[in-house]
Amino acid sequence: GMGGNLGVGMGGGMMSTNDIPDSDWMFPPPRNLTCAAGGDVREARNQAKDARKWLLVNVQSVDIFDSHRLNRDTWSNETIQTLLDSSFVFWQRSSGCSAGADYIRLYKVSHDDLPHIAIIGPTGATLWSQTGFIQPDELSMALVEFIEQNDLDATTLPKPKHRPRSKTDEFDVTPRADEEDVDSDNDQVMEDDMGSPTPAAANAHVSDEDALEEAIRMSMQEAAGGGGG
């Protein structure tokens, strides 16, 4: 296409993608999505924010077969399209156009990581990402899980996708002593005891225990004595 590069460098005021022509693709990108975003990634982010949706980014490379496979199998999939239209703004560009190159620079995506798929939240942070081809059923599961686990309105940052669910996670919770944030009310009481200026409480605790043991000893002796008469 002669006019292929005409739009490059002009501001993205129009909805056009200013991207490589569809004829460059073995399998053209989806064009029937109502949730497709125009402009560069900043405009797409604003569009998603206004629509109160997540932004799903796909940066393709026309030189990588996985990108063609995504167009052929994944983006053409009905379930995926329904999911995208309901919960996402979809911004797909090739790495060859200025908006795609701009995203790669902005989000520090390496060319080895193409094709690249990412979910971007209202803050502009990448919350989930995927490199290479992904089957439609796998992607739809990942998207549904993401939607269920993350809240657009959450002021706190959502958990990123690669959350280690390793054993270290469990260890973190056990040593309660050094973790002041995690303590329950019980721990609080204990801390107050420790910190109280009069050590009387601690001593009282000890003598109670002694008295109790003494009482148990006595009663056992009585029982033994009574049984032996």
Alpha-carbon distance values, 167 to 108, 159, 164, 178 (Å) = 31, 18, 9, 19
The CATH number of whichever domain residue 6 belongs to comes to 3.40.30.10
Tell me: do 142 and 220 sit in the same domain: no
Tell me: do 60 and 116 sit in the same domain: yes
Say if 166 falls within a structural domain. Answer: no
Specify the pLDDT at position 194.
53
If one counts the domains in the chain, the total is 2
Tell me: do 38 and 138 sit in the same domain: yes
**Cα–Cα distance between 80 and 85 in angstroms, integer?**
9
CA contacts within 13 A on the Cβ side of 123: 11
Checking DSSP bridges between strand 116-120 and strand 88-94, what pairing results, if any? unpaired
Tell me: do 11 and 116 sit in the same domain: yes
Contacts of 125 (CB under 8 A, 6+ apart): 157
pLDDT tens for the 229 residues of the chain, in order: 444 443 333 333 334 567 878 777 777 788 778 888 889 999 999 999 999 999 999 999 999 999 999 999 999 999 999 999 999 999 999 999 999 999 999 999 998 999 999 999 999 999 999 999 999 999 999 999 999 999 988 755 555 555 444 443 444 444 444 445 544 455 554 545 555 455 555 555 566 778 788 888 888 777 776 555 5
Query: Which sign, positive or negative, has the C-alpha torsion 166, 167, 173, 177?
Result: negative
pLDDT in tens, 92-128: 999 999 999 999 999 999 989 999 999 999 999 999 9
Give the domain range for residue 116. 2-149
**Cα–Cα distance between 133 and 130 in angstroms, integer?**
8
Tell me: do 107 and 207 sit in the same domain: no
Say if 165 falls within a structural domain. Answer: no
Specify the pLDDT at position 148.
95
Residue that is last in its domain, among 149, 176, 206: 149
Say if 171 falls within a structural domain. Answer: no
Specify the pLDDT at position 175.
43
Say if 94 falls within a structural domain. Answer: yes
Residue that is last in its domain, among 86, 119, 149: 149
Specify the pLDDT at position 156.
52
Tell me: do 130 and 207 sit in the same domain: no
Tell me: do 201 and 130 sit in the same domain: no
Specify the pLDDT at position 46.
95
